[in-house]
Chains A and B, each alone.
Chain A
Amino acid sequence: MVSEEGVFDSLDQWIEERMRRRTILRDREIFFKVMNEQIERIRSVGLKGLI
């Protein structure tokens, strides 16, 4: 065990927060993926020298 995070009568709020964190991490991943795919597309245009 690393640490005790807290004691709760209900886990509803904790679970909601946990799910929100997971969604945000996934959104970050998607954002980086989309941006870097587009950067790669732009680079490939530069590499070929054509549109």
Chain B
Amino acid sequence: MQEYDLIREKAKELARGVVSEEGVSENINEFVRDRILYCLDEWDVKPIEVLRKGRGMCAGKALLASELHRAMSISTRFKVIKVLGEGGILDFVMHQLEETKNSSLSLEERERVREAILLLPPERDHIILQVFLHGQWRDFDIARDKDLDRGMRLLGIRRERKVVSEEGVFDSLDRWIEERMRRRTVLRDPWDTEGEEGGFRRGGIRLLRSMD
């Protein structure tokens, strides 16, 4: 089966028995939000891969949801925002790395991960899906699945996104992702001189913004 056929089949399955565009959209968004589990990933993962893996980051999940909507002739686009990362999952992981002694990681590996987190800039790129319903664009943040969100709440990890700025609205994320991959992400080849913007250098390794 062709890639697009798989997405169309999934879209049809999610739309079965639903009459209104709003209902179809709700089913698609719920499916992508809660059944496609949030994980840290590359920015350029194709929607079909996200569907197959059942996991994805904000961009991959928004792209998949967009394809599913478009397969049902519902218009979508993408809003790129910058959010503050402070107090979120990265802070929790940092704390875990400091506390957990019986890790499978060597001390050196743990230190390198800690350093990578510390050097990330405070502002992170984040993708919001916009769906055209009842004559207007509506925002949907479908990145975080409900179990992860509940876990964050129970563990006292900050869940609210503090929006710093809106970077723009795009019909397609292709060009944005291409550019984003050039200035990606956690650890990058220090010899590569592209994508300095938003980057940090230390110890020969350039660390750039990432998540989520």
**Which residues of A come within 8 Å of B, CB atoms?**
17, 20-21, 24, 27-28, 30-32, 34-36, 38-39, 41-47, 49-51
Contacts and interface: CB of A to CB of B under 8 A. Distances in A.
29 contacts: A17-B191, A21-B189, A27-B112, A27-B205, A30-B105, A30-B109, A30-B112, A31-B112, A31-B116, A32-B41, A32-B186, A34-B93, A34-B113, A35-B40, A35-B90, A35-B93, A36-B39, A38-B92, A39-B39, A41-B151, A42-B92, A42-B155, A44-B151, A46-B149, A46-B151, A46-B154, A47-B147, A49-B154, A51-B155
A40 B143 CA distance: 15
B74 interface: no
Q: Provide the main secondary structure of the chain A interface.
A: helix
Contacts of B189: 20-21, 24
How big is chain B's contact interface, by range? 35 or more
A46 to B, nearest CB: 3
Given A27-B112, A36-B40, 16 more contacts: A20-B189, A24-B205, A27-B116, A28-B187, A30-B113, A31-B186, A31-B187, A38-B96, A39-B38, A41-B96, A42-B89, A42-B148, A43-B37, A45-B151, A46-B147, A51-B155
Contact of B186 (A28, A38, A46, A51): A28
A38 B89 CA distance: 8
Given A39-B148, A43-B148, A46-B149, A34 B105 contact: yes
Interface in B131-178: 145-155, 157
